[in-house]
Amino acid sequence: MSSEMILVDDNIELEKDNLSYIQIKTYRISQELEQVIHEYLNTIFAKSERPGIVPLVYTILKELGINACKANQKRVFFEEKGYDILNQDDYSKGIKEYKASFSESMGVEYGPKSKAKGYFCLIRFEYTNGGITITVTNNTPITKQEEKSIREKLAKAMGYDDLAMFYMDNADNTEGAGLGLALIIIMLKGEGIDPNYFRISISGETTTARLEIPLSSEFKSKRS
């Protein structure tokens, strides 16, 4: 099996094997990255039985990529301030300062900083005739508090089929990555995809979101 390495720009490194996978390494969300993701999703799903699912998968993938890059960005911010992100007192102080200074344009500044420190977001598409597996990984740790919030929102989302109802019932708690992940669950349900095919795994300093999309009865889940 031979793979091709492509340096798209300073923010996007691409590796692919046309028969089985595409992997994108990035340090921040950018217009160029969004175009690359959209292009490959269209290519991957074009010959499948569900080409119309591309907008849903793109929306989910963008949410996961934003979460991963923001987690790395936050880690860099804490390090620059001298805060230990895993220390509760430091975290409480640092997160207030981070939210106060946050802007959508921070990625332009913090993307190169993340790259310099070795923090990345890895987006991988693995595909067969049976289905597609997409993983989004970032290599910064998550706090116990953040993990608890994510798990709670994911569990709660399992009981909803309507986005508007979920928003209404969680109006007082609509911040953080956990909400976006919960909405992913509801969107998958809306497309008739088993939400159990979406998983978050945390190992040491690595956080990985995995979405499996069966395209035929031949598909075998990694959960099996």
Is 166 within the bounds of a domain? no
pLDDT given for residue 218 in this prediction? 82
Packed helices 54-81 and 106-117: angle between N→C axes, nearest 10 degrees: 70
Is 224 within the bounds of a domain? no
pLDDT given for residue 178 in this prediction? 65
Helix (H) or strand (E) holding 56: helix 54-81
Identify the CATH number of the domain in which residue 52 sits.
3.30.565
**Does pLDDT of 130 surpass 50?**
yes
**Cα–Cα distance, 213 to 130 (Å, whole number):** 9
Contacts of 48 (CB under 8 A, 6+ apart): 132, 215
Count of C-beta atoms within a 10 Å radius of residue 220? 11
Contacts of 103 (CB under 8 A, 6+ apart): none
Largest CA distance in the chain: 52
Instruction: Outline where 118-162 has alpha helix (H).
Output: 144-157
**Cα–Cα distance, 30 to 71 (Å, whole number):** 16
**Does pLDDT of 177 surpass 70?**
no
> In angstroms, how far is the first alpha carbon of the chain from the final one?
25
Is 59 within the bounds of a domain? yes
pLDDT given for residue 112 in this prediction? 95
Is 169 within the bounds of a domain? no
Is 153 within the bounds of a domain? no
pLDDT given for residue 167 in this prediction? 77
Is 53 within the bounds of a domain? yes
Is 159 within the bounds of a domain? no
Domain count, the chain: 1
Is 71 within the bounds of a domain? yes
pTM of this structure: 0.91
Chain segment 48-99, per-residue pLDDT in tens? 888 899 999 999 999 999 999 999 999 999 999 999 988 889 999 999 999 8
Domain range for 23: 4-142+194-214
Instruction: For residue 137, list its beta bridge partners.
Output: 122, 208
Task: For tokens 């976006």, name the residue.
Answer: 180
**DSSP 3-state assignment of 223?**
coil
